[in-house]
Amino acid sequence: MTHFDIIIIGSGGGSKITRPAASLGLKVAIIEKDSLGGTCLNRGCIPSKMLIHPADIIQEIKEASKFDIHIDKTIKVDSKKLVKRVSKTVQEESSSIEPLYEKNPNITYFKGCAEFTENKVIRINNQRISADTIVIAAGARPYIPNIEGIESTPYWTSTEALKSTEIPKRLVVIGGGYIACELGYYFQSMGSKVTFLVRSECLRPEDDDIKEEFHKTFSKSHTIIKDASPTKINYIQNKFIISYSCKNTVHEIEAEQCLMATGITPNTDTLKCENTDISLSKSGYINVNNTLETNIKGIYAFGDIIGRYFFRHSANFEGDYVFNRHIKKSISKNIEYPPMPHAVFTNPQVAGVGKREKECIAENIDYYCGINAYKDSAMGMALLSDHGFVKLIFQKNNDRLIGAHIIGKEASNMIHMLIVAINLKATRQDLFNMIYVHPALPEIVRNAVRNAKKDK
């Protein structure tokens, strides 16, 4: 059995520790069962955005006529070339990681599935390795609900959808979260007729005003069936026949493809955590304390597998903390999360940071809001905006910005000035005192500040 100073399971978020730990002179083992780079690089954020950007271009072309620009020719997309280019770029990026490990004498790369045999011992490819420090960043995978017949069908998860060079004529998306909406938007832009079967509503965690605006706008180009629970899936003559119940009535829908986007499940089962004393939640996520340490001294976990946040940027933040707190030992404080931002790359885009209005109500926070529509701004007029707004939430007793939510063009970029504002504990007056470039989109933020009325 080979002993290392540190074993890292997972090369996505785990990349925040692997080479930095080796640079300290530590003997490091990195274990990855799939392609190096993790979910984000290979089957998540990066390939999806590389596909969604062309979708955005297509939407711009489709809407050109409202600017008196008339494009007579039909839009033709070489989907095979597009997807192959994206896949090639991702593969090259992933392949560039292993040579960096090979060049470093302190790093040993193991390709395979890590399985615990006891608390500090891992079996990998019939070899046992151990370490005093183990970091688990093994992530999560798509969750597949128990629907009758599903296992005998060639359904997609996000992994297959991102690599498909074929655009189905009709696509049923089961789910209404971030991944469902982003991929549904991509395929709709490429020519699919997309129907969402949603148990409750799309983008359920968002602020209520955002969800309402999103549904109103998104449903103009996508079919959204709320309160729908799939009960049976058949695959006959190259077509999916999906039965679902909605308002106590059973319906059927046919499609060439079905995308399962009903959430994720942690990869703890593949790690054989039952052979250890590692504490898991009822949902299978690893329990960690306020320093991201498990109940076993020297074993740490972060990223999707601990079930706190499900973003690459949150995993990066946690990975940096684990390295500095437990490996480099340059800090001794507990982890403190700043307000966690997010964005949904659909059309319209959605982004947010800080408190939602319903959270303020639940937590008895005295607050007030300022809202401004895109159309009620100079750039909004130039864009001929017919949807979208900025919503700001301020705490009454000190006028601090505690929440910001945006739906509309460039929301994922617009949100960053408000991330800064919340982290710096900026007040309404601070935002009001700024000079905003005219006629840039952030003037919508300024107008929302102006519209905030404390006495309401």
| Span 169-228, pLDDT tens digits | 999 999 999 999 999 999 999 999 999 999 999 999 999 999 999 999 999 999 999 999
Q: What is the pLDDT of residue 299?
A: 98
The per-residue pLDDT for 456 is 54
29 three-class SS: strand
Does the pTM of the predicted model rise above 0.85? yes
Write the CB contacts of 297 (distance below 8 Å, at least 6 apart in sequence): none
**DSSP character for 257?**
E
Across the chain, mean pLDDT equals 96
Q: CATH 3.30.390.30 in the chain, residues? A: 348-451
Q: b or e along 293-327 (b: 16 or more beta carbons within 10 Å of the residue's beta carbon)?
A: bbeeeebbbbbbbbbbbbbbebbbbbbebbbbbbb
Q: Where in the chain is the domain with CATH 3.50.50.60?
A: 2-142+265-327, 150-262
For 148, 156, 174, 263, the CA distances from 144, given in Å and listed in that order, are: 12, 10, 10, 8
Return the pLDDT at 453. 87
Residue whose structure tokens are 């329990």: 287
150-262 CATH fold: FAD/NAD(P)-binding domain (3.50.50)
Amino acid residing at 346 = T
For the chain, which residues score pLDDT lower than 50?
none
Place of tokens 């007793």: 397
CATH of 348-451 among 3.40.190.10, 2.60.40.1220, 3.30.390.30, 3.40.50.1820: 3.30.390.30
CB 180, CB 171: distance < 8 Å: no
Output the pLDDT for position 189.
96
For residue 19, what are the CA distances in angstroms to 106, 107, 325? 9, 8, 16
| Domain over 2-142+265-327 is classified CATH 3.40.190.290 | no
Give the model's pLDDT for residue 74.
83
